[in-house]
Structure 1
């Protein structure tokens, strides 16, 4: 009899393989032996932290894009002077060396966790750095992804971005974590690498050593010790999906010819190069802030124009949708000091930053217009965190006055979805960010792993809001896109189309599966799927109802 556990599927695909657990060092203790004077041990601590930083920088040289950026940022965190200062105080209070370091990192982690949002996710990074430093001090190998020499499913409590960033060069063919949510770095990076992943699975302690697993990153189910028949069926289904994805080419469309633009999400020059070489219809989301994370000085108009031109140059004649700086909350930019807010996710972020730094928005629009003119790309520009029709009107007037031809807005706030008709009066298009729309609809911080089920884009209330936006777009004759992570779910993609969405933007590895899924279904079936998902009481029932329709289509 097979045993099944369930979590949240965050990266589509199915895989059957043995599993290995991500190991962490044994905890330190105040009763560990003291090996030297505080002065001598402080030197060892500095050397250990330097070793951690150098190892991360070395790994950064083997990867590209967001992965390299994450590793480089983690290396800088390892050399933070505050950690050394705290560890020194712990040594002087009589704590053993490794424990002094662990306590220092734990204290910083607690502070970050209390802040919530983006800062809370940084606590995972810090905890990982502390474990690495402790390993060096003990003369043990640093924690890392196992390399057994054969394909396997990696099981962990959670993964620091520094580890997730190197999954692409490992034996890992599937990922299962006990914590995390659909918008975590782990989920987003796994999806960008095309690795099936399930997060927020509370049943990982039920796994039996040496047993195979079938992990389904689409449905979020994991089968423990499957029968031979189940293993064979899983392999055949995975092969069939892979063949379909590989054989599907060209513009996105349903089986009966309804056009659905399929484009890529990008954030870096490396992302742009990969998307430019991929079989996609341009870019549906260029996250411009990714080019400036960590910057303490504001980029000039000329520097921005050069950066944007380098990106747009990969898409001459193709549509590129650019999001203006979405700073604040989970993506702070040091050169835009927004102060400390009680709840930054509900504060000054996205378009609202323009009320504090209006020149920054104007400079970006000028740079984008210059880059668009220089490259011949079909430039569309949208603002994040638009809440009202007046905000949409003001942004549209400003953008057009700076030379932007096509102007739109992100629909991420329920207020914007509810009044999409009014907002579209002033715009050429809208694009739905389902990550934030889920967060604000269900009142759950995107980094609150314990409440990740509420962040599911299959929540019927979220789908109701998407349907309202889709109808408003149809009435106005203007395109409605989805650029949130939900667009890359092959099962949800036809639901979104049935709700009135006309374009989907996702990570490059997800394009094939979504294209193949849409090509196998008529628009009427997509609408039936949408009705079934909205009619369900919860995401689980919705997925099951849609899966039944797909199987019978």
Structure 2
């Protein structure tokens, strides 16, 4: 049995036979030239339609987020810009259709990668669509998850949303990938399904003779065996002790909230027992728009998401757009380093009209829904920026305003920032990216994005202390909040609310409820003193044991 180590991104231990996700087909050759370029080009659109039809058929069999993912991928396959560019490569350069699709899609993917941030996360989707269309042109089996005849451990280079949108957690006991990171699609999917997962296991795919695997999503350990191993699913998280009220064993309040981006997410969070919403992403109203949605359109869309939380607190994040999420109507141009460019609040200060209309729509939706709405701004760096946003929000009729702490400068000046606003919320995904100068989508740097990194925990502790001294709330709405063990550490660092995907809510609530605040603080101190993420996790677990 060989032992491998990656980054554990969804806790639990499971084992079983390995099912390998098919690798993409080899890069298509640029020769021979087609005898009839026009006829060859005419093959591309039907192949794309065949891929889209298959995805739409899968979408028809599922609901919710899975349905949305499959329909979005199908729409990407039908993108006329992608197929038109490929057709031009056939007729203009006499490329075979598979090669033309390969080059056309890669051009789109390169543009997304250069944009960074949210759009860089879509590169895997473009590659997935590319490979499916090429397989259709060649009459080959498309890449993706095989049909599973028995419960298995899924092993892959990486997973695209369409690969996994309709996975059955009763058949997939764990996920292991060679690439990806703590905020990758695989990580988020595994946490939503409640199955163990380890990503960034470098060299994993070289073990072609392994037939069984033992996966520990808590430690990041993976054991591969050439012999069969017992088939065991992870035990479900112990959440029976959580009654839906976020608090420690000694009744210190810790909000257990949901992260939402659409009405379906809101309903799922309510069903899971969320006490409110710590992060309502409003980008869903803008990302597919070629023109800015009108105030009435925004108001209605926000009210639909807010309605399930009537009488409960909801924190709405204003538009997190800019160079890394370029929207046509903003016309922001291009930048050499988008992740460090004009995004979030920086866009709002340039386009105050867009911000003011959004704030007015949020205020109207709050009145329509009865939710207790606060707003917060993304990508804030200074106390002056925080004060500017708070004044703008209050002028729009929203009394409670806060900001995201995603930039190290804001964490280091948390006391000054908190003097200007009513609360702050830590976006641990971006904060880790900027602290370690490590792209959160780079699999080779995944360990640097581990939320257990002591340097990141120390920054969180600084913000927690500033919040306590100011008497103002400090939340965490990054993926770190979904880890039950880390949730207690965060509470011990002074975090007063945790916001996460709906599926993680019961387990996190139970973990916080299991110990008094003094124990969580002891776990936090132990993690802060550790030299590495793995050591921090072990130290925290030992302190709570």
TM above 0.5 = yes
SS in 1 for 2:176: strand
Alignment of 1:54 onto 2:53: yes
| Structure 1 position 485, deviation (Å) | 0.3
Q: Residues of 2 paired with 1:157 and 1:186: CA distance? A: 11
Aligned pairs for 1:204-243 (under 5 A) are 204-205=204-205, 207=207, 209=209, 211-225=211-225, 238-239=234-235, 241-242=236-237
Quote the residue 2:123 is aligned against: 123
CA distance in 1, matches of 2:298, 2:358: 7
Question: Offset at 1:84?
Answer: 3.0
Q: Structure 2 regions of 5+ residues with no counterpart?
A: none
The answer to whether 1:361 aligns with 2:351 is: no
Q: 1:517 to 1:171 in 2, by over 3 A?
A: same
1:157 aligns with 2:157: yes
Listed as ranges, the matches of 1:2-401 within 5 Å are 2-30=1-29, 37-92=36-91, 93-168=93-168, 171-205=171-205, 207=207, 209=209, 211-225=211-225, 238-239=234-235, 241-242=236-237, 244-401=238-395
Any idea what the Cα deviations from partners look like across 1:126-160, whole Å, max 9, x if unmatched?
A: 22112111211222332231122322121111112
Query: What is the distance in 2 between the residues matched to 1:62 and 1:169?
Result: 16
1:218–1:489 contact (8 Å) kept in structure 2: no
Does the C-alpha gap of structure 1 residues 429 and 112 become closer, same or farther in structure 2, counting only changes over 3 Å?
closer
* Residues 80-99 of structure 1, C-alpha deviations (whole Å, 9 max, x = no match): 34433443344344443333
Greater shift in the superposed pair: 372-381 or 167-176: 167-176
Deviation at 1:501, TM superposition (A): 0.5
Q: Which moved more, 1:310-319 or 1:113-122?
A: 113-122
- What SS is found at the alignment partner of 1:189? helix
Compared CA separation, residues 216 and 334, structure 1 to 2 (3 A): farther
Distance 1:112 1:321 in 2: 29
C-alpha contact 2:279 2:477 (8 A) present in aligned 1? yes
Structure 2: how far apart are the matches of 1:127 and 1:58?
21
Q: Is the 8 A contact 1:267 1:291 kept in 2?
A: no
- Looking at structure 2, the residues matched to 277 and 226 of structure 1 have their Cα atoms a distance apart, in angstroms, of 43
SS in 2 for 1:335: helix
Normalization by structure 2: what TM-score?
0.93
Kindly tell me: are residues 19 and 549 of structure 1, through their superposed partners in 2, closer, same or farther at Cα, counting changes over 3 Å? Answer: same
Structure 1 pair 391–436 and aligned structure 2 pair: CA distance change class (3 A): same
Contact 2:16 / 2:230 at 8 angstroms: preserved in 1? Answer: no
What is the CA deviation profile of residues 169-201 of structure 1, one whole-angstrom value per residue up to 9, with x for unaligned ones?
Answer: 883232111111112233223323333221111
Q: What is the CA–CA distance in structure 1 between the aligned matches of 2:431 and 2:359, rounded to whole Å?
A: 25
The worse-fitting range, judged by mean Cα deviation, of 532-541 and 431-440 is: 532-541
Structure 1 outlier segments of 4+, above 6 Å: 31-35
Matched, 1:440 2:434: yes
| Counterpart Cα distance in 2 of 1:169 and 1:548 | 30
CA distance in 2, matches of 1:90, 1:299: 35
SS of match in other structure, 1:474: helix
TM value normalised by structure 1: 0.92
**Cα pair 2:116 2:324 within 8 Å, conserved:** no
Q: Show CA shifts across 1:41-76 (max 9, x none).
A: 222211101111222233334444554444333333
Q: Secondary structure at the match of 2:239?
A: helix
Task: Check 1:100–1:362 CA distance in 2 against 1; reply closer, same or farther (3 A cut).
Answer: closer
Alignment of 1:458 with 2:452, yes or no, is yes
Of the three residues 504, 508, 527, the one matched with 1:514 is 508
**1:157–1:179 contact (8 Å) kept in structure 2:** yes
Aligned residues: 544
Distance in 1 (alpha carbons) for counterparts of 2:347 and 2:28: 45
Q: Give the match's secondary structure for 2:485.
A: coil
In structure 1, the gaps of 5 or more residues are: none
Per-residue displacement from partner, 1:324-351 (whole Å, max 9, x unpaired)?
A: 1111244333332221111111111111
Question: Is the deviation greater in 165-174 or in 284-293?
Answer: 165-174
Q: How does 1:419-438 map to 2 (within 5 A)?
A: 419-438=413-432
| Structure 1 CA distance for aligned equivalents of residues 278 and 100 of structure 2 | 47
The alpha-carbon distance between structure 1 residues 65 and 330, as it changes in their structure 2 partners (threshold 3 A), is farther
Query: Is the 1:147–1:171 contact (alpha carbons within 8 Å) kept by the matching residues of 2?
Result: no
Distance 1:209 1:20, change over 3 A: farther
CA distance in 1, matches of 2:168, 2:380: 36
Instruction: Provide closer, same or farther for how the CA distance between residues 283 and 253 of structure 1 changes in structure 2, counting only shifts above 3 A.
Output: same
Listed one character per residue, the Cα deviations across residues 440-469 of structure 1 (whole Å, up to 9, x for unaligned) are: 111112222221211112111111111111
SS of the aligned residue for 2:41 comes to helix
Contact 2:117 2:325 in 1 (8 A): no
Residues 104-129 of structure 1: per-residue CA shift (max 9 Å, x gap): 33444445445544443333222211
For residues 203-224 of structure 1, the C-alpha deviation after alignment (integer angstroms, 9 at most, x for no partner) is 4235464633222222222223
